Amino acid sequence: MNIGQAAKHSGLSAKMIRYYEATGLLKPAHRSDSGYRLYSDEDLHTLAFIKRSRDLGFSLEEVGKLLALWQDRQRASSDVKALARQHIDELNQKIVELSSLRDTLQDLVDTCQGDHRPDCPILKGLESGSCCA
């Protein structure tokens, strides 16, 4: 199938498919006589794997490692589990950081009267940096 069909089937854009090829996550597509990219069922399976990995928040580097482990039938599942645990740790850290950002912004919003007056604690907090230290 061509890149448009592969994009529709995989839920990825043609641009992302070309990017995954360029970065080496996806092997270069076969080309038709007229130069169009052609994708096999195996390529679609790989694209689905990449998409699911990205949907779970894995970085491109991590997806590359997961792909290598997925394609290595001699791998130890402990290697895959270690990579997933590391990602969970990173997600937990991001959750802590985002919660802190939310709480800080909520405090600023709570102090703002939100009326016709120009005085705005939100803007003052952003200006002074006291909100984001």
Q: What is the pLDDT of residues 22-40, one digit of tens each?
A: 999 999 999 999 999 999 9
Task: Tell me the mean pLDDT in the region 96-108.
Answer: 94
The amino acid sitting at 49 is F
pLDDT at 114: 86
Q: What is the pLDDT of residues 51-82, one digit of tens each?
A: 999 999 999 999 999 999 999 999 999 999 99
pLDDT band at 113; cut points 50, 70, 90:
confident
Residue 126 CB contacts under 8 Å (≥ 6 apart), including other chains: 132
Count helices and strands (H / E) in the chain: 6, 2
Q: What is the CATH number assigned to the segment(s) 1-59?
A: 1.10.1660.10
Give the whole-angstrom CA distance, residue 79 versus residue 99: 30
Q: pTM for this one?
A: 0.81
**pLDDT at residue 133 is higher than 70:** no
Helix (H) or strand (E) holding 52: helix 41-55
**pLDDT at residue 3 is higher than 90:** yes
Give the whole-angstrom CA distance, residue 43 versus residue 92: 32
Q: Which two tokens stand for residue 69?
A: 């482990």
